[in-house]
Chain A
Amino acid sequence: DIVLMQSPGTLSLSPGERATLSCRASQSVRNNYLAWYQQKPGQAPRLLIYGASSRATGIPDRFSASGSGTDFTLTISRLEPEDFAVYYCQEYGSSLVFTFGPGTKVDIK
């Protein structure tokens, strides 16, 4: 089974700064079927990105993502106060199962 690794574990930044989050897979992600989610404390996750680079409905354009194969990146161009949260990547595999990465916490420096 595929394993997703996210780095860094915690990213400490100030509002207005750029955040770059990494998701690395143990094997190639089928057809780049990769998503990113944001989760704030006490809330359900929110879909940000699907298909490695497509923004979900209502997601601001400061969120962008790229990558293919085994290496994927989520970028937040300028951090807003509401962006401090945990971010998860998720892959949909050929065996019709879903795998999440362990998450990256973006907190206020």
Chain B
Amino acid sequence: EVQLVESGGGLVQPGGSLRLSCEASGFTFRSQYLSWVRQAPGKGLEWVANIYPDGRETYYADSVRGRFTISRDNAKNSLFLQMNSLRAEDTALYFCARELIVGPAEYFQNWGQGTLVIVSS
């Protein structure tokens, strides 16, 4: 069974930093494309970043580029999101997602339950 378990969320002041983690099991982690997707309270879904299996290619939403860094440790089946210069608008539930690759297309096949980040003074 595929499992994705996020951790590391919490309350942080504007301008602060936080590192999210996602521990994965039930699939061959090192061969999977992975993403972070967030959802502000009561709002819709917003893709944040993704990373290719070997970690060499990463992509970001415009709203986080230059502030957030996605990374992975294939030896530990773990995905990370380093979030710097946090803003109030980064407040959201952050989901880790395993992607489904269909030809050149990518979709979000499996999701964790999310970790809540609150940016407030």
Give the interface of A toward B (CB within 8 A).
Answer: 31, 33, 35, 37, 39, 43-47, 50-51, 54, 56, 88, 90, 92, 96-103
Contacts and interface: CB of A to CB of B under 8 A. Distances in A.
B105 A31 contact: yes
Contacts of B37: 98
Interface string B42-77: 001111001000000001010000000000000000
* Consensus secondary structure, chain B interface: strand
Contacts of B46: 100
A47 B59 contact: no
Given A44-B95, A50-B102, A100-B47, A92 B113 contact: no
Contacts of A37: 45, 108
Interface of B: 35, 37, 44-47, 50, 59, 61, 95, 100, 102, 104-109, 111-114
A101 B44 contact: yes
Contacts of B106: 92, 98
B44 A103 contact: yes
A98 B61 CA distance: 8
Contact of B107 (A44, A90, A96, A99): A90
Contact of A44 (B47, B61, B104, B114): B114
Contact of B47 (A46, A99, A102): A99
Given A96-B59, A97-B59, A98-B35, A47 B107 contact: yes
Contacts of A88: 44-45
A26 to B, nearest CB: 16
B44 A45 contact: no
A97 to B, nearest CB: 7
Contacts of B59: 96-97
